[in-house]
Copies of this chain bind each other. A is one copy, B any other.
Amino acid sequence: MTALYGLTAIGNAIVDVLAPASTDFIASQAKNGMQPNTMNLINAERAAELYGLMGQATEMSGGSAGNTMACFASFGGKGAYIGKVADDQLGKIFAHDTRAIGVHFESAPLVGGKPTAQCLILVTPDAHRTMNTYLGACTQLTEDDVDENLIANSKVTYLEGYLFDEPKAKAAFFKAAELVKKHNRKLSLTLSDPFCVVRYRDEFMALVENHVDILFANESELKELTQLSDIHQAIESIRGKCEIIAVTLGEKGSIIVTKDDTIYIEVVPPKQLVDTTGAGDAYAAGFLFGLTEGKPLPECGRLGSIAASEVISHMGPRPLVNLKDLI
């Protein structure tokens, strides 16, 4: 069956609040559990406290899978997004930005509950980002939000590991995985974050072995998943457990791993390095755009690198130019 969409993504629908911060400030927040360069889950009280300590900020729609869809659409891909915002100003911003780039987004907003999720992102002068997420309305994403029609009509369905952080969203995740199998489509997973892998290692490994076709992981996530401190050993230990594994290595490029092949992809140097927020999301978008367009794997990797390069050249996780103009 032909597919109406190249990609449908399910994720935590989040508005990012980005502000520059010093490494000293990040260090000073260790007492509050802040882990540098990762995603930290925070509650409403901590979000208010941390926001009060942050400088003047910029608001932009974000969320890992949301960023991936923005890049996928920017390449010219046709896609859809499933995620839960609230019926509030930030939710309207998220919905607008998602639809404005041509992504189908009809998930019903949450009425009368928690507010739209926010991610307080501190960007240090070395361009690294430390994320602090208050999930808000995302905790109310349920199986009912997983539209079978979208999954059935998408070549690939893409899921964030972050969804595991909430029981209802996790149930939605598994429902989506079942529907992908039922409709004979492909399932893609991003491990999202090393601490997310720590939280759900065994379940992620079972998913990779039994459900996932295309896995995205960065170096630290893959080491956490395999419990191996050498990246090459980690790669060998997971090779063949799913069809394609794309491992991003930051400034060292990426490696595409299949049962029989190992393909090294060079990084595309950014014009300037400003903010790495969304780099992995962008890579996945370029890769999956190539794959759903029937491109060979090296070209998929190159498209991923192009997208990541654009996104890290400015503040914010989504492209500021049409990515299709860059290829």
Contact = CB atoms under 8 A, between A and B. Distances in A.
A57 B100 contact: yes
Contacts of A58: 58-60, 316
A61 interface: yes
A88 to B, nearest CB: 6
Contacts of A20: 320
A299 interface: no
A211 interface: no
Interface stretch (A3-11, A30-38, A47-55, A290-298): A47-55
Contacts of A52: 96
A61 B89 CA distance: 14
Number of copies: 2
A136 to B, nearest CB: 11
A57 B97 contact: yes
A56 B101 contact: yes
Nearest to A93: B59
Secondary structure dominating the interface of A: mixed
A54 B93 contact: no
A101 to B, nearest CB: 5
Contacts of A88: 88-89
Contacts of A56: 61, 70, 97, 100-101, 318
Q: A20, A55, A93, A318 — which one has the most chain B CB atoms within 10 A of its CB?
A: A93
Contact of A100 (B54, B61, B316): B54
A115 interface: yes
Interface of A: 19-20, 51-52, 54-61, 70, 88-90, 93, 96-97, 100-101, 115, 316, 318, 320
24 contacts: A19-B100, A51-B96, A52-B96, A54-B96, A54-B100, A55-B100, A55-B101, A56-B61, A56-B70, A56-B97, A56-B100, A56-B101, A57-B93, A57-B96, A57-B97, A58-B58, A58-B59, A58-B60, A59-B59, A59-B60, A59-B93, A88-B89, A89-B90, A89-B115
